[in-house]
Amino acid sequence: VGVTLDASDWSNIYLPHEPVKASVQTDMPPGIEAELTVTVKNYQGKLLQTFRRTVSNAEKIEYNLASNELGWFMVSAELTVNGKKESSHSANYIRIAPPAQLHPGQMAYSGLINNCGGEFIPHFELMQKLGVKRVQVYGRWRKSHIDGIEYEPGKFDWSVLKKQLELGRRFGMFNKVMVSPFDTPEWYLDKNELEEARKTNSPLILDPKHLDRWKTFLGEMMRQCGNLIDEIELGCEDNGRLGHNR
């Protein structure tokens, strides 16, 4: 026996107006009948609902579950043959109150870090349902196999960052971008600087004499994405990365 819920994502999180439906799948050997018992309990173990029926062969049964209170719930299914338990399975779900809204002038503080390139839309739908109102993305200067913006000297690919920021806008998020001069493209460092960084496994740190290249990167980011950005963090806590205690 198996239990699944009808949530549109893996979360099994429901708002008060959303009905909760469970599907119970049974698969019995030919000629064998079993007693199916489905129960719903809250986090205190209080029994809220009980369903019973006789099943045989393969069947799929749907149940409307208790939905008149908030909290954590467990729906369990159990098969018994001649009073002996043969199989059981359960699934959890929660029902939450609608998220609070920000008052005018308030700024969202805690939120979501999106390092996924903006592809996981259900992730954003879930965060919005939970009341998350802020998203943080990383505008990595140096191109890597995962992400990064400057792929050749003076040539930029803003597509991933734009997608992340547009997704934040779509779901009403406050967009924060983190950028750092310690992810410098290799072509802005000389041979000795590169060898030293690789030897000590250190960040690629831009020499102050090349600060104009960092300014060019930031200026281009604002031209391309400025209308989608609410806040920028420069440095991204790099004191810790560089071994500084303050």
Going by their DSSP bridges, the two strands 33-42 and 47-56 should be labelled as: antiparallel
Contact status, residue 180 vs residue 234, Cβ threshold 8 Å: yes
Q: Report d(CA 213, CA 184) in Å as an integer.
A: 10
Token pair 């006789």 is found at: 54
> pLDDT tens for residues 19-49?
999 999 999 888 889 999 999 999 999 999 9
Which pLDDT does position 9 carry in this prediction?
A: 66
> What parts of the chain have a pLDDT lower than 70?
9, 115-122, 145-146, 201-203, 236-246
For residue 11, the tally of other CB atoms under 10 A from its CB is 16
> pLDDT tens for residues 133-150?
888 888 888 887 667 899
Q: Report d(CA 17, CA 98) in Å as an integer.
A: 9
Taking the chain, what is the end-to-end CA distance rounded to the nearest angstrom?
57
Give the closest residue to 34 by CA, choosing from 107, 100, 89, 85: 85
